[in-house]
Amino acid sequence: MEDRFQLAQVNIARAKAPLDHPIMKGFVDRLDHINELAEQSPGFVWRLQTEAGDATAIKAFDDELIIVNLSVWDSFESLKKYVYTGEHVTLIKNKKSWFDPLNAPSLALWWIAEGHIPTVESAKARLEALQEKGSTPEAFTFARPYPAPNQATAPRVRLA
């Protein structure tokens, strides 16, 4: 039986202010809708969330203004389609209104065994690996993706 893999993704952002500050209203007002869009998107498997329905209360870093998003998708293509098409693109375009740039990678992708749920700690380790080594099978980006381990002989996927 062939092992099956899914794609985990983590992205972090440093808010310009606490989420209850008026400058963050445009982001906070869209958060539930964007999370619903993700959950309804083809290929969505799982996302990190608290009882409140999102992950903004999870403080994974010493900096209280850094928020974390962690999710699992059935393929690279399904995540790429969600991120770069539809309403999510509008959110990305407005990112500078709500978030400050980071001096380290803010997004990492990696393959996990089907059914595995990644932890915040493992996600932080993937961001650190990307910072230290660049894009590798351990942690990669949309710009430099790697195939799932069971597809190692397949051609590497490239963004157009």
* Structural domain boundaries in the chain: 5-151
Q: Residue 41: is it exposed, middle or buried by C-beta count within 10 angstroms (0-12/13-18/19+)?
A: middle
CA–CA distance, 17 with 102 (Å, rounded to integer): 15
Mean pLDDT of 102-112: 96
CATH number attached to the domain at 5-151: 3.30.70.100
pLDDT digits (tens, 9 = 90+) for 48-80: 999 988 899 999 999 999 999 999 999 999 999
| Share above pLDDT 70 across residues of the chain, in percent, rounded to a whole number | 92
CA–CA distance, 18 with 25 (Å, rounded to integer): 10
